[in-house]
Structures are given as C-alpha cells and as structure tokens.
Chains A and B, each alone.
Chain A
Amino acid sequence: MELYRNSLRITLSVWKALLLREALARLFSSRGAWFWLVGEPVAHMAVLGLIYAGIRQRTIGGIDTLIWLVLGVQGFFLFRRTAGQMAGAIDSNRALFSYRQVLPIDTVLMRGVLEATLMTAVMAVILFGLVMMGHDIRPADPLRVLFAFIGLWLLGVAMGLIVSALSELVPEARQIIDLTMRPLYFVSGVLFSVGSVAPPYRDWFLLNPVLHGIDSLREGFSPYYHGVPGVSMGYLYDCAFIGIFIGLLLHRRFADLMVTR
C-alpha cells in the first residue's frame, strides 16, 4: 500500500464506499424495500389518478391529467425524499465516524446522490408504465423538464444539508422536515392547479420554490399548458443555491461538533 494518499483520493474512496453502503441499506434493508421505492409513488398516483381522471376531467390546464399528476407527484417526491434521506444521514451513519476518513458531510452528500439515482430509475419505470397505458410521454421541451427535475433535487439537497446540520445542534430540528412537508405538499400544486387560486393569494403560493419546480415540469411537457402565471425556474435555482450555500456553511462551521457529541 502506498504510504500516503492525497485528500481528494481519500474522499473519493470514502464516497464510493458510502454510496455502496447506502444503496445496500436503501434497497435491501427490509423485505421488498426496493419494491416500495417504486410502489409508494405509484400507489400515490394510482389513487389520485382514479379520483382525477376517472371522476373529474381528462385534462388539466391543457395537459393530460395523468401526466400532470405524475409530474407533480414525482417532482414532489424527488424533493421530499432527497431532503428526508439527507436529513437522517448523520444519525444512521454515526457508527462509521470511528473512521476518521468519514466526515458527516460525506454521508449527507452521498445520500443525496443515491436518491437522485434511484428517483431517475423510478421515473423511468413510471414513464414506461404510462407508455404501456397509451399515454404520450414525449415532452415538448425535454431540457426544461430535465432542469426542473434537477432544480427540485438541488432544492432537496439544500434542505437536507441545512436540516442535517441543524439537527446536530438542535435535536428538534428534524421535526422541521415533518412539519413543513405536509403543508408544503398542499401548497406546491401537486393536487390542484395553483393557477385556479385568486390573484392576491396566488402570490403567497408563489413564494414556495417547490411550486415553481413542479409547474416548470408541466410547462416543459406541453407548450399548451397554462399553469400558474409568474412561475420561473430562476427562482427555484436561486432558492436552491442559497440553501446549499447556507447548508455547506453550517457543515463547515459545525463539523467538529457533529462527530464529537
């Protein structure tokens, strides 16, 4: 073995080891854990789809209802799972900090990367299912869809970084995720079109960056989609990058406290 490795090589090998370790835990920790990765969002969509497409209407804002729903649910799940998984990373990897190469931020970041990978696979499965059901899944503006997904993921990363750092300082911070996720689900336009909200209140909804991501997804899918006026991807990215900056800052500042206890 060569005597000394440089810091970058150490970090890269730690990342690889953590990624594989997390993937194992995420896919096989309990019976059928891998199934529920796809099963949870699909069940979610199935119930909503039944209500919306079956009972209410064929299209929402000029776009296939099922596609509209799938994009909303997947976009939101991508954000929520990334944030939630990253927030719990330090706690579930505490045993591994007895190796000095492994830093808290490594575990948090790798969970984010893993979640992006898994959600891509989940999305592929779901899109395949939609094709089989005879829906047109070709987006009008694929790049816009891609950037909206990436933006939502980055926003999840930002939230995950901040909450994971804060929860080491204030143990109650984990509750923030549970507390904010539920109302966030309702104000993000997953279930209803925020465009149908009357103007003075709509502006309040527009403060929520997740909504911008989800409606950008839908706009990218169909040029005829008339969603919420004032949606901008720039706002989503601004929020994500500011959040990531704050999260990294917290991790840098309080790194010592996190392993020490």
Chain B
Amino acid sequence: MIVVEDLYKRYRTDHGPGRWVLQGVNLVIPPRVNVGLVGRNGAGKSTLLRIMGGVDHPSRGTVRRECRVSWPMGFGGGLQGSLTGRQNAKFVCRIYGRERDMPEKLDYIQAFAEIGEAFEEPVKTYSSGMRARLKFAMSLAFDFDIYISDEITSVGDRAFRRKARKAFSDLVGRSSLVMVAHGESTLREFCDAGIWLHEGKAHWFDTIDDALKAYNDWQSV
C-alpha cells in the first residue's frame, strides 16, 4: 500500500521556484489493484510516479510506502552506461542485498531481456529498445508488491510487448502495478482502477473506463 497525503510539488528552475505541478494530491494505492494514471502532458504523472517510487522528494506532504515498491521503471536512468548489462544487473542485485542468489537472478534477467551477446557489452552501446528490455527484466527479477512503470510497455518491439504483457498478467493477484501509458487499449488491458491527474489534483476512479471517460470528456470540451 502506498499512502500519499497532501502532496505538493514544484521544481526549481533557473528563474526561482517553478509552477506547482502537484497541489494537494491525496491518494492510496491499495494492494493488488492495478492502477492507470491518466492526464494531459505535463499534468505531473511522471512526477507523481517518481515521488511514489522514492527517487524524488515532495515539496510538501508525505508519501508512505508500506510495502516493497519497485524503482520507477522506464525512466531515463537506472543503467550505468560504462558498465555492461551484466554488471548493471549485478549492481542492482547487490543494492537489494541479493548476493546469495545472484547467479539465478542474473540468469533470469539475461533470459528475460533476450538481448543476446549484448548482455556482456557496455550499456552505452544499447539501443533504447534494448535498454528498456534490460530494465524491465531487472525489475521483474525481484519480488515487489507494487511495480511502478512509466510507459515501459510502449517501448520495444511487438514480441517484447507481448512478453511484458504476459509477465504483468502473471503478476495479477500477487503484486500490483501503477502505470502511465498513453495508449487507451494498454491501460484498459492492464488496469482495474484509474487516477486522473488534473490541475495538480488526483481524482480516483474505481474503474479505468471511468477515469478515461472523465479525461476524454474534459479533453473534448
């Protein structure tokens, strides 16, 4: 469960503090419910995910993570360019304190990512699709209660998307997913509930269809 209370966020800019991206977001991500985040570009979807994932800090308000939450997948970052895919995977195993079963984890990541020989090459030589595959494989190698994903299902080729989809559907009932995607079909496929981020506030909908409807109604006005 992730509890977000009265969350405010604005970024520093070169001209002092910027506009408020999030203004008083209150929400609870319940266990074992897949949640889709919708909103126009710049509504603060990625910001909210980053804050929930603990890699960014709120300007005001609190976030409580009462379970194991993944790092935000699909963002730039997370991979060190000068290291190989394997070395990056080892790094993540180590920071999660999984040194004992590291060989199995590495085998799993290598097999899932399906990037072949490139696993032993520096990440800076990877294409964006290969990076996405590796990052996705790394996050699935660990058991999280909540996976945070930003557009990860939209990168990669069709075969990989199908694989990602299957992996996510296998997680249903065990873990939950908080995701941002612009494809409505993707959201409908994965998500049960929805959150519409609008003018710095979060609106919770029990079904993703309602969330999309509210968002679309607003867009068409």
On A, residues with C-beta under 8 Å from B are 1, 3, 5, 9-10, 13-14, 16-17, 20-21, 24-25, 29, 93-102, 256-257, 259-261
In contact, B95 and A102 (Cβ under 8 angstroms)? yes
* One of B68-76, B156-164, B197-205 at the interface: B68-76
- Select the residue from B55, B81, B92, B98 with max chain A CB neighbours within 10 A: B55
In contact, B55 and A1 (Cβ under 8 angstroms)? no
| CB<8 Å pairs between A and B, sample of 22 | A1-B96, A1-B98, A5-B97, A9-B97, A10-B95, A10-B97, A13-B94, A16-B94, A21-B80, A96-B78, A97-B77, A98-B55, A98-B71, A99-B92, A100-B55, A102-B95, A257-B12, A259-B55, A259-B56, A260-B11, A260-B57, A261-B12
In contact, A17 and B12 (Cβ under 8 angstroms)? no
Give 1 or 0 for each of B59-71: 1 = CB within 8 Å of chain A CB: 0000000001001
Q: With A95-B81, A96-B80 as known contacts, state yes or no: A21 contacts B55, CB within 8 Å.
A: no
Q: With A3-B68, A256-B57, A257-B12 as known contacts, state yes or no: A95 contacts B78, CB within 8 Å.
A: yes
With the chains together, A64 CA to B91 CA distance in Å? Answer: 46
User: Chain B residues with Cβ under 8 A from A10's Cβ?
Assistant: 95, 97
User: Chain B residues with Cβ under 8 A from A100's Cβ?
Assistant: 53-55, 71
With the chains together, A10 CA to B76 CA distance in Å? Answer: 24
With the chains together, A9 CA to B76 CA distance in Å? Answer: 27
User: Chain A residues with Cβ under 8 A from B12's Cβ?
Assistant: 257, 260-261
Shortest CB-to-CB span from A93 to chain B, Å, is 7
User: Chain A residues with Cβ under 8 A from B71's Cβ?
Assistant: 98-100
User: Chain B residues with Cβ under 8 A from A14's Cβ?
Assistant: 94-95
Within 8 A of A (CB), among B83-103: 83, 87, 90-92, 94-99
Shortest CB-to-CB span from A90 to chain B, Å, is 13
Give 20 new A-B contacts, CB below 8 A, not counting A95-B77, A260-B12: A1-B97, A1-B143, A10-B95, A13-B99, A17-B90, A17-B94, A21-B83, A24-B87, A25-B80, A25-B83, A93-B80, A95-B81, A97-B55, A98-B55, A98-B75, A99-B71, A99-B78, A102-B95, A257-B12, A259-B57
With the chains together, A99 CA to B77 CA distance in Å? Answer: 9
In contact, B80 and A95 (Cβ under 8 angstroms)? yes
With the chains together, A35 CA to B81 CA distance in Å? Answer: 22
The 9 A-B pairs at the shortest CB distance, nearest first, are namely A100-B54, A17-B94, A98-B77, A98-B78, A256-B57, A95-B77, A13-B97, A17-B95, A14-B95
In contact, B81 and A99 (Cβ under 8 angstroms)? no
Q: Is the interface of A mostly helix, strand, loop or mixed?
A: helix
With the chains together, A100 CA to B148 CA distance in Å? Answer: 13
With the chains together, A98 CA to B91 CA distance in Å? Answer: 13
With the chains together, A259 CA to B80 CA distance in Å? Answer: 16
With the chains together, A1 CA to B11 CA distance in Å? Answer: 36
Question: What total count of A-B pairs have CB within 8 Å?
Answer: 79
With the chains together, A181 CA to B156 CA distance in Å? Answer: 47
User: Chain B residues with Cβ under 8 A from A260's Cβ?
Assistant: 11-12, 56-57
Tell yes or no: B79 within 8 A of A by CB: yes
Shortest CB-to-CB span from A15 to chain B, Å, is 10
Q: Which residue of A lies closest to B100 (CB)?
A: A1
Tell yes or no: B216 within 8 A of A by CB: no
Shortest CB-to-CB span from B108 to chain A, Å, is 14
With the chains together, A17 CA to B99 CA distance in Å? Answer: 10
User: Chain A residues with Cβ under 8 A from B128's Cβ?
Assistant: none
With the chains together, A256 CA to B51 CA distance in Å? Answer: 12
Tell yes or no: B82 within 8 A of A by CB: yes
Shortest CB-to-CB span from B90 to chain A, Å, is 8
Q: Which residue of A lies closest to B87 (CB)?
A: A24
With the chains together, A99 CA to B12 CA distance in Å? Answer: 22
Shortest CB-to-CB span from B132 to chain A, Å, is 14
With the chains together, A102 CA to B96 CA distance in Å? Answer: 11
User: Chain B residues with Cβ under 8 A from A20's Cβ?
Assistant: 90-91, 94
Shortest CB-to-CB span from A110 to chain B, Å, is 12
With the chains together, A14 CA to B83 CA distance in Å? Answer: 17
User: Chain A residues with Cβ under 8 A from B79's Cβ?
Assistant: 95
User: Chain B residues with Cβ under 8 A from A24's Cβ?
Assistant: 83, 87
